[in-house]
Structure 1
């Protein structure tokens, strides 16, 4: 049995390492990062592959006939052709739930950076400024209280639910738009609405759904025209959910007050992206999932996924 790790950078911060995987499959080759054209040659005759954002599609599978299992070191499977993997008899396992608390926490880190600018005030104060005597170059935004504001959540999986709990703790009203309203949600103290109502009533709208054919480009010019004027938009889910040009237009027109994002349509975000130059866009480089605690869960579940598959069962198989 032979394994290939195509993107080892995902789990090599400090104390985390791949020893658990390598103990299960001693014949393991590891690469820090892998470009698309390198994927098939590097997999070669391997039986197992572990990856994060590398694409596995019909073209790759046709060149790697020995491949039997793909472990994606993430929750989302946007980069994998799951149907092609199924046709080729390749099981795909993901890692659900490892980053729930970290991503929900980052969602509010972005929101609080917009509402109260603690980091910007910190830099200004350490440079000798105080209260009203702070130059415009620090990009301070008006202070804003969250109490009694309406917090909209699109997508009500584990991260959406945790984000809603935090919003309620701040005293916010919570609206949720989700594909399926389950009976157990009745105790959550949130109001379930359609997408147009969500857009029209939300002071803050936070995206927490996967990128699917139904949700790609969800936030486009048409949706933004329906949004409550001055809404804050947060995206810690998938860049593909948002038309970034339409968001930039809405930020410049004032239809959107602020955009806080940790995920982008193209990553890294291109240098010429308009979002980089807008003071009312608060951006982080897709790192919400990288707390030490989340990465440890990621490593533990990835290793367990591999072990259980080798034992003949297999956990978290997403393509049947």
Structure 2
């Protein structure tokens, strides 16, 4: 379904707006800034047709590659409806003089919350035990209590964060409240990380040391698939891997093999390499692998912040001072 507001000078097209506003998060703030057309979803073959004539494009997961951008001579600005911006060829956009912005801060708290929802399901198996009770296992049990497998206490365990941006810091704070030690790997460690205390270590050491590894880095051409067989082989057999960042960071075949061979205790992912997930994704049948459908970001409060900041991004561009640029270098700024 496409929603349009006509009669305003700047043409703004949203290519895939449904996940941001499935009906509870109106586009009013964006609509005030121009002639707005909102498409719930856009198939690859319709991208050029729908984007044609737009001065401003908004995309969440609709791909804007170099060829597509070059075929849109009227395009002046792209705002990504997310923090991750790998769906846009930002270098090509920069060469064409098209600023690209993202929304770097809107879902840190809700993503961190989901990280621990996944981790606690791996360690305490709440969903599994609820299903077992409703299936009659507690009624048939001779004891007042039963556990489906060993439960894991977080206090005293080591959490390894790959990436230490806003979300990573939120996760570290929650881990600290659980009494976990936090280590992290990032290309540019902060000069001080006292709240909570964090030790910065090389990547291989993090994977070898941590009881829980959680990914919080952007996906780039350089790190695609970096969580592979050799890196996973260095992890403790009792360790867990959590990915709420980008699915392409993980070699899914290698992860499934590590799980199935019990080289890893479990994994939980909110993202996969191809979304929606395809039927032959190896993680679907992997041992002790939890999968949620890329919803860590999607609490209503977070989506409202995303809508508000997107409108602010567009307004700043229209005022001649774009903010949250992800291709400043390519633009020569």
Report the TM-score when normalising by structure 2.
0.90
Aligned to 1:20: 29
The equivalent position to 2:14 in structure 1, one of 5, 11, 14, is 5
Give the C-alpha shift of residue 197 in structure 1.
Answer: 1.0
Which residue matches 2:127? 119
C-alpha distance in 2 between matches for 1:229 and 1:123: 26
> 2:311 is matched with which residue: 303, 307, 313?
303
Alignment of 1:1-320 (within 5 A): 1-25=10-34, 27-130=35-138, 133=141, 140-320=148-328
* Per-residue Cα deviation, 1:196-225 (whole angstroms, up to 9, x for no partner): 111111111111100113321121011111
Moved >4 Å (runs of 4+): none
Partners of 2:159 and 2:212 within 8 A in 1: yes
The runs of 5 or more residues in structure 1 that have no matched partner are none
Counterparts of 2:82 and 2:315, CA distance in 1: 17
List per-residue Cα deviations over 1:151-183 (Å, max 9, x = no partner).
Answer: 111110011111111111111111111111221
Contact 1:114 1:141 in 2 (8 A): no
- Indicate if the aligned counterparts of 2:176 and 2:196 stay in contact, CA closer than 8 A: no
Task: Determine helix, strand or coil for the equivalent of 1:111.
Answer: helix
Give 3-state SS (helix, strand or coil) of 2:32's partner: helix
Secondary structure of the 2:193 match is helix
Give 1:141 deviation, angstroms.
4.2
| CA distance 1:41–1:68, change in 2 (3 Å) | same
Aligned equivalents of 1:14, 1:46: Cα separation in 2: 24
Structure 2 unaligned regions, length at least 5: 1-9, 329-333
Deviation per CA, 1:241-275, whole angstroms, max 9, x where unpaired?
Answer: 10000000000111111010001111111112221
Q: CA deviation at 1:186?
A: 4.3
Of Structure 1 and Structure 2, the greater helix share is in 1
Question: After superposition, what is the alpha-carbon deviation per residue over 1:255-313, rounded to whole angstroms, capped at 9, x for unaligned?
Answer: 11101000111111111222112340011010000001110110010011111111221
Distance change in 2, residues 1:131/1:109 (3 Å): farther
Could you tell which deviates more after superposition, 94-103 or 175-184? Answer: 175-184
Contact map agreement 1:11 1:18 (CA 8 A) in 2: no
Give the drift of 1:131: 7.7
